[in-house]
């Protein structure tokens, strides 16, 4: 059985946030991976010239965090 806390790590923790890409890194990744072409990247940069720090917006400091562990067992292959 795979525990849920192993699948969904706590994103509100600062060490999880420091590895997130900013807009420029994401656009470069899209270009290098072939997900978007240069024209599409230029259009995105034109339409969205500002970088928003979503981690600062969504993950506030000094707020209560609750963590729950859930496990399920029993049953058969048909349930």
pLDDT tens for the chain, 79 residues long, are: 445 455 455 555 556 666 778 889 999 999 999 999 999 999 999 998 888 776 676 766 777 778 888 888 888 888 7
Q: How far is CA 25 from CA 9, 10, 28, 48, 70, in A?
A: 22, 23, 5, 14, 36
The confidence score (pLDDT) of residue 62 equals 72
pTM reported for the whole predicted model: 0.51
Q: Residue 14: its pLDDT value, please? A: 59
Q: Rounded to 5 degrees, what angle do the CA atoms 35, 13, 65 make?
A: 125
Q: Please give the pLDDT value at position 64.
A: 76
Question: Given its phi and psi angles, is residue 6 left (phi above 0), alpha (psi -120 to 50 degrees) or beta?
Answer: alpha
Classify residue 25: in a domain, yes or no: yes
**Cα–Cα distance measured from residue 8 to residue 12, given in angstroms and rounded to the nearest whole number:** 11
Residues spanned by the domain of 28: 4-58
Residue 44 lies in a domain: yes
- Our count of domains for the chain comes to 1
């Amino acid at each position: 059985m795979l525990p849920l806390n192993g699948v969904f790590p706590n994103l509100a923790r600062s060490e999880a946030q420091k590895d997130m890409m900013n807009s420029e890194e994401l656009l470069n990744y899209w270009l290098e991976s072939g997900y978007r072409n240069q024209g599409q990247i230029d259009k995105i940069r034109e339409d969205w010239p500002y970088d928003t720090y979503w981690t600062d917006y969504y993950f506030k400091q000094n707020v209560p965090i609750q963590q729950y562990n859930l496990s399920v067992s029993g049953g058969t292959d048909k349930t």
